[in-house]
Amino acid sequence: MILKLSLISFITTLIILNILLPFLTRNIYAEPSKRGMHSGNKPTGAGIFFALIISIICYIKNFYLPLLCLPLSIISLLDDKYNIPRFIRYLSQVIFIISIYYLFKIDYSISLFFNNFYIHYFILFLIIFFGTGIINLINFMDGIDGLVSGCFMVASFFIYINGDYNFLIIIGSLLAFIILNWYPSKIFMGDSGSIFLGSLIVSYALKSENILDGIKFLILFTPLILDSTICILLRIKNKQKIFRAHKLHLYQRLVLNGFNHSTVSIMYISATFFIGIMYTFFNIYALLLSSFFTLIIGIFINNKYAIDFNKEK
């Protein structure tokens, strides 16, 4: 059953994206920008279609989490087209996190130690802060062909082989998308795709049975989360405006130094695969060690192959 649904997910996504490619080219396209790594206009907003397909097919399989993430994808699609104010976008993410928190009655992080009103809402505040943070960190990484979709597809594979077969449906749809998104890409997922995937990461981590499982799940996405986090910290250190468009992520500075999109994406996908092996066969300590090792390799690559952080502003 799940293999058939995954195949349906793949075929449906591939057909729909190919049919709608001319429409997106005319109506929803990304123009060259200070943050962008492409020249010329390129159709975007494809993420809404794989988000819809994943949500519908997963619903058939009684896996409702993607459907809960769909409203954020729709809002992000509108933002791709109409530039919705940043406050409205962030508020929608806050409402999403709060909804997930209460819908799944996420209280294990509180009841382990305290049963206090103030502690409860302090924990909720932290969940909102880090949850919305991760959603946007994933969004920031969607800047070159195949990077976010490739890493998420590999992470989904390891979640699937660890027992959550619903992620095979996600793999099917993302595989179809990456055929068109791999370098040189014909289409972008846009915020509607990256925000959808980011919210799926956060909501799946939150609904984990315990904190440890949630942390292990998040570590799978270390290559994406670390790059964005370190970039923000360095920009704060350098007293730069963190909300201003830039090309300071490691993946961007590697491309600017002559690496093509495919090579850089394969670096991140390989790192995700390595961490996935640790996730599958080893304990949390080995998983944390693999995450730290990824950080060390990233620092080495940054120092040896990327344009200096302070030279690209």
Q: Where are the alpha helices (DSSP H) in the chain?
A: 2-27, 47-60, 65-82, 86-103, 108-111, 117-140, 147-161, 167-181, 190-206, 211-219, 222-237, 250-256, 261-281, 284-305
At residue 234, does pLDDT exceed 80? yes
At residue 137, does pLDDT exceed 60? yes
**Distance between CA 272 and CA 227 in Å, rounded?**
13
| Residue 305 belongs to some domain of the structure | no
Of 175 and 116, more confident? 175
User: According to the per-residue pLDDT averaged within each range, which of 37-46, 135-144, 208-217, 302-311 is highest?
Assistant: 135-144
Encoded tokens for 309: 């952080």
| Residue 241 belongs to some domain of the structure | no
| Residue 289 belongs to some domain of the structure | no
| Residue 9 belongs to some domain of the structure | yes
| Predicted local distance difference test score (pLDDT) of residue 111 | 46
> pLDDT (tens digit, 9 = 90+) per residue, 68-124?
999 999 999 988 778 889 899 999 999 999 999 888 766 554 444 445 667 778 888
Residues 6+ apart with CB under 8 A from 24: 43, 44, 45, 46, 187
| Predicted local distance difference test score (pLDDT) of residue 242 | 79
- Are 278 and 290 within 8 A, CB to CB? yes
| Residue 239 belongs to some domain of the structure | no
| Predicted local distance difference test score (pLDDT) of residue 105 | 67
Q: What is the average per-residue pLDDT within 252-260?
A: 94
At residue 34, does pLDDT exceed 70? no
**DSSP assigned state of 112:** T
| Predicted local distance difference test score (pLDDT) of residue 245 | 77
Residues 6+ apart with CB under 8 A from 182: 145, 146, 150, 262, 265
**Distance between CA 230 and CA 301 in Å, rounded?**
14
Instruction: Please tell me the total count of domains within the chain.
Output: 1
| Range name among 191-195, 238-242, 295-299, 304-308 with the lowest pLDDT average | 238-242
The model carries a pTM of 0.93
Residues 6+ apart with CB under 8 A from 54: 9, 66, 169, 170, 173
**Distance between CA 63 and CA 235 in Å, rounded?**
39
At residue 139, does pLDDT exceed 90? yes
Domain that holds residue 139: 2-221
Exposed, middle or buried, 220 (CB in 10 Å: 0-12/13-18/19+)?
buried
